[in-house]
Chains A and B, each alone.
Chain A
Amino acid sequence: MSKTLFDKVWDTHVVRKIEGGPDVLFIDRHLIHEVTSPVAFLGLKSRGITVLYPERTFATADHNTPTIDQHLPVADPLSANQLKALESNSNEYGISHWGLGHQKNGIVHVVGPEYGITQPGATIVCGDSHTSTHGAFGAIAFGIGTSEVEMVLSTQCIMQPKPKKMRINVNGKLGIGVTPKDVALFIISQLTTSGATGYFVEYAGDVFENMSMEGRMTVCNLSIEMGARGGMIAPDETTIEYVKGREFSPKGEAWDRALAYYKTLKTDPDAVFDKELVFDGSSIEPMITYGTNPGMGMGISHDIPDAAHAEGGAATYAKSLGYMGFSEGESMIGKKVDFVFVGSCTNGRIEDFRAFTSIVKGRHKAEDVTVWLVPGSHIVEAQIKEEGLLDILNEAGFTLRQPGCSACLAMNDDKIPAGKYAVSTSNRNFEGRQGPGSRTMLASPLVAAAAAVTGVVTDPRTLIEKVEELV
């Protein structure tokens, strides 16, 4: 029978099917961080059970960590306690632990791929909804709750009903200034935040085929924002080139075997999806959100839709625009911006900083804007320096912070103050997401850069002089 890419990976990992229930799914790689794992370890202790395969779990601290002065003790006692719990739990069970200060520390969804933990055709879970990022490699990767973290620790399995399958095809040539983030925000704006709930998505078409691994990770990362459990892209030469030789990638004979498996990972030509969508890539423009969920996005040159054209009820829509301080029919261009955040598991990779730098080069940070540039990992941080981007950034009035999740969810001190507006390259613009009362506009690193140098929402295409400067 013809199978989709998703079927192939899923079926390979089903230990058993339960009549009238979920599948027992084996998990190849398990990533943990300080926030969603402590209660799972407590659960193990209270049940008197242990970790079955410690070598399949990897711990990194990211959600809670400061992004300046990481060499100093963490000031917030609650955060410090969580970081300590991750370390002691990892040590107790023999799990690799990349804590604060460790050279491999960084955002879980950035370091996983960088070190080759992420592999095509693997099943990967983490107590974090943006685990979907790893789908960029043709893995089945999705976020789980803490009860499931405990399941994976103790048995390397979780119990999941097999989701439905959706394929999203985007073909055509992307316009100037249109990045993978814009492609994802465009798709979410078309589907809404619940449009893919119950589905696992495969992204297909030449727009994704032509994307770098970093770009694919950005797209798959945002799958959850349209309700999908995850999204994946079939591995190709770009994928294999990226994976080969990384620290935890298979070596020697194991690599040959893995490679043979990777080559099987594509949807059969006559395989059937429960839902199939097609979009024209050339119609996408740089995107920005105007509301309080990632589905409330539009092309940056458009006006905020009126309630009649919005998804959901008028009351919910009015609440959302009221929170943002925006009105129906307004243009976003020229709106005041107080903060700019570049980073997160969505856009904290080297390409994102290259894109940001391409716009700010030769310009200067706008006076009243606070800009936080937070690399996703030490590797990204080092690349920014090695490629000379840091010098350009410094010259333009910007500084670099240290790796972590930072203002994406504002668990550390990187909080946007109440009422202030942030253009953010992260993934969620929910009420208070970036700090109580904060107002978030999601966008690409290019839109973030345009805001950073002008102090207002600006179409980055008006600042792009040389097309070849762009990624």
Chain B
Amino acid sequence: MAYDKFNILTSTAVPLPIENVDTDQLIPARFLKATERVGFGDNLFRDWRYNPDNTPKKDFVLNNPVYSGKILVGGKNFGSGSSREHAAWSVYDYGFRCVVSSFFADIFRNNCLNIGVLPVQVSAEFSEKIFAAIFADPNTELEVNLPDQTITLLATGEKETFEISPYKKDNMLNGFDDIDYLQSIKPEIEQFALQLPL
């Protein structure tokens, strides 16, 4: 599925300083029954966001009008658990284009990159600074610069660089995905398959 190209994103951010946020929290399994990619943003963090009677939980950050933006800042080991791409879809469909954490779970990070959400891994120290800055001023902005691979706290100018493979970077900048690439080398794949041991 096509996604919007990513270049430089300047936005306020939503802070979620909880560690080990797992994919069952991002999107509980009972919301995985769709056969199309629709409605996932509405159920992002469903059980942290809503009471059993579907009224919003006032103390959860997504229900706090003070915080908004296209960047979600999470605690360490963000996205652990299941391989459900629905978790990344929920993040994207809610309106986030970037997730910042000091550590990402492997499959979630990969899924994000495949659907146009940029995972930005920062140091634990910088993560603390970002949280402190947002809590001090919810209107503070972050700049995520993909071409330069930097993330900057605009209020102070403090910045860090982040890692992304040149291949994935090129994909994100242009809105390409892996299927486009794989389709282009199909004859090579078919040739390769002939010599496999199994």
A38, CB-defined interface residue at 8 Å: yes
In the bound complex, CA of A158 to CA of B35 (Å):
22
| Residues 115 to 164 of chain A near chain B (Cβ within 8 Å) | 119, 121-122, 127-129, 131, 143-148, 150-151, 154-161, 163
Q: Is the CB of B192 within 8 A of A151?
A: no
Q: A26-B192, A312-B19 are in contact. Are A129 and B33 (CB under 8 A)?
A: no
Least Cβ–Cβ distance between B53 and chain A, in angstroms: 12
At the interface with chain B, which of A16-24, A274-282, A298-306, A376-384? A16-24
Q: A38-B36, A227-B80 are in contact. Are A148 and B114 (CB under 8 A)?
A: yes
Q: A197-B105, A431-B24 are in contact. Are A155 and B183 (CB under 8 A)?
A: yes
Q: Is the CB of A316 within 8 A of B20?
A: yes
Q: Is the CB of B196 within 8 A of A43?
A: no
Question: How would residues 6 to 33 of chain A score, 1 for a CB under 8 Å from any chain B CB and 0 otherwise?
Answer: 0000001101101111101010100000
Provide the residues of chain B in CB contact with A430, threshold 8 Å.
Answer: 22, 24-25, 81
B75, CB-defined interface residue at 8 Å: yes
At the interface with chain A, which of B4-12, B83-91, B139-147, B153-161? B83-91
The winner among A35, A53, A121 for most chain B CB atoms within 10 A is A35
In the bound complex, CA of A261 to CA of B76 (Å):
41
Q: Is the CB of B179 within 8 A of A47?
A: yes
A39, CB-defined interface residue at 8 Å: yes
Provide the residues of chain A in CB contact with B107, threshold 8 Å.
Answer: 129, 143-145, 224, 229
Provide the residues of chain B in CB contact with A224, threshold 8 Å.
Answer: 81, 107
Q: Is the CB of B166 within 8 A of A21?
A: yes
Q: Is the CB of A15 within 8 A of B35?
A: no
In the bound complex, CA of A161 to CA of B198 (Å):
23
Q: Is the CB of B197 within 8 A of A257?
A: yes
B106, CB-defined interface residue at 8 Å: yes
Question: How would residues 427 to 442 of chain A score, 1 for a CB under 8 Å from any chain B CB and 0 otherwise?
Answer: 0101111001100000
B185, CB-defined interface residue at 8 Å: yes
Least Cβ–Cβ distance between A262 and chain B, in angstroms: 9
Q: From DSSP, what is the main secondary structure of chain A's interface residues?
A: loop
B24's partner among A49, A128, A151, A428 (CB-CB below 8 A) is A428
Q: A36-B83, A119-B198, A410-B30 are in contact. Are A312 and B76 (CB under 8 A)?
A: yes
Least Cβ–Cβ distance between A120 and chain B, in angstroms: 9
In the bound complex, CA of A53 to CA of B156 (Å):
54
A315, CB-defined interface residue at 8 Å: yes
A238, CB-defined interface residue at 8 Å: no
A193 closest partner in B (C-beta): B80
Provide the residues of chain A in CB contact with B18, threshold 8 Å.
Answer: 315-316, 319
A211, CB-defined interface residue at 8 Å: no
| Residues 38 to 63 of chain B near chain A (Cβ within 8 Å) | 47, 52
Provide the residues of chain A in CB contact with B81, threshold 8 Å.
Answer: 129, 224, 428, 430
Provide the residues of chain A in CB contact with B186, threshold 8 Å.
Answer: 52, 155
In the bound complex, CA of A111 to CA of B5 (Å):
41
Question: How would residues 184 to 208 of chain A score, 1 for a CB under 8 Å from any chain B CB and 0 otherwise?
Answer: 0000000001100110000000000
At the interface with chain B, which of A78-86, A166-174, A212-220, A364-372? A78-86
B87 closest partner in A (C-beta): A145
A258, CB-defined interface residue at 8 Å: yes
A39's partner among B28, B36, B52, B166 (CB-CB below 8 A) is B36
B137, CB-defined interface residue at 8 Å: no
In the bound complex, CA of A250 to CA of B197 (Å):
11
A411, CB-defined interface residue at 8 Å: yes
Least Cβ–Cβ distance between A148 and chain B, in angstroms: 7
Least Cβ–Cβ distance between A22 and chain B, in angstroms: 7
B35's partner among A85, A121, A319, A436 (CB-CB below 8 A) is A85
A239, CB-defined interface residue at 8 Å: no
Provide the residues of chain B in CB contact with A271, threshold 8 Å.
Answer: none
A313, CB-defined interface residue at 8 Å: yes
Q: Is the CB of A258 within 8 A of B198?
A: yes
Q: Is the CB of B192 within 8 A of A15?
A: yes
In the bound complex, CA of A163 to CA of B107 (Å):
12
Q: A20-B166, A437-B52 are in contact. Are A159 and B25 (CB under 8 A)?
A: no
Least Cβ–Cβ distance between A320 and chain B, in angstroms: 8
In the bound complex, CA of A18 to CA of B181 (Å):
11
Q: Is the CB of A145 within 8 A of B28?
A: no
A129's partner among B32, B83, B197 (CB-CB below 8 A) is B83
A293, CB-defined interface residue at 8 Å: yes
Q: Is the CB of B181 within 8 A of A159?
A: yes
Q: Is the CB of A159 within 8 A of B185?
A: no
Q: A52-B186, A319-B18 are in contact. Are A147 and B181 (CB under 8 A)?
A: no
Provide the residues of chain A in CB contact with B188, threshold 8 Å.
Answer: 15-16
B68, CB-defined interface residue at 8 Å: no
Q: A312-B19, A411-B29, A431-B47 are in contact. Are A18 and B167 (CB under 8 A)?
A: yes
Q: Is the CB of B189 within 8 A of A157?
A: yes
| Residues 72 to 124 of chain B near chain A (Cβ within 8 Å) | 75-77, 80-86, 88, 103-107, 110-111, 114-115
Least Cβ–Cβ distance between A253 and chain B, in angstroms: 13
Q: Is the CB of A151 within 8 A of B52?
A: no
Least Cβ–Cβ distance between B57 and chain A, in angstroms: 13
B190 closest partner in A (C-beta): A52
B37, CB-defined interface residue at 8 Å: yes
A418's partner among B52, B83, B178 (CB-CB below 8 A) is B52
B106's partner among A36, A79, A229, A418 (CB-CB below 8 A) is A229
User: Can you list 23 pairs linking A and B with CB atoms under 8 Å apart?
Assistant: A13-B196, A24-B189, A26-B189, A38-B36, A39-B37, A53-B193, A127-B85, A146-B85, A147-B179, A151-B179, A151-B182, A154-B182, A161-B165, A194-B105, A250-B198, A258-B198, A261-B197, A312-B76, A315-B18, A410-B29, A432-B47, A436-B47, A436-B52
Which are the 7 A-B pairs with shortest beta-carbon distances? A21-B167, A143-B83, A20-B166, A145-B85, A78-B33, A38-B35, A145-B111
9 further A-B contacts with Cβ under 8 Å, apart from A128-B82, A157-B189, A227-B106, are A26-B192, A49-B179, A147-B115, A148-B114, A156-B189, A198-B106, A431-B25, A436-B47, A436-B52
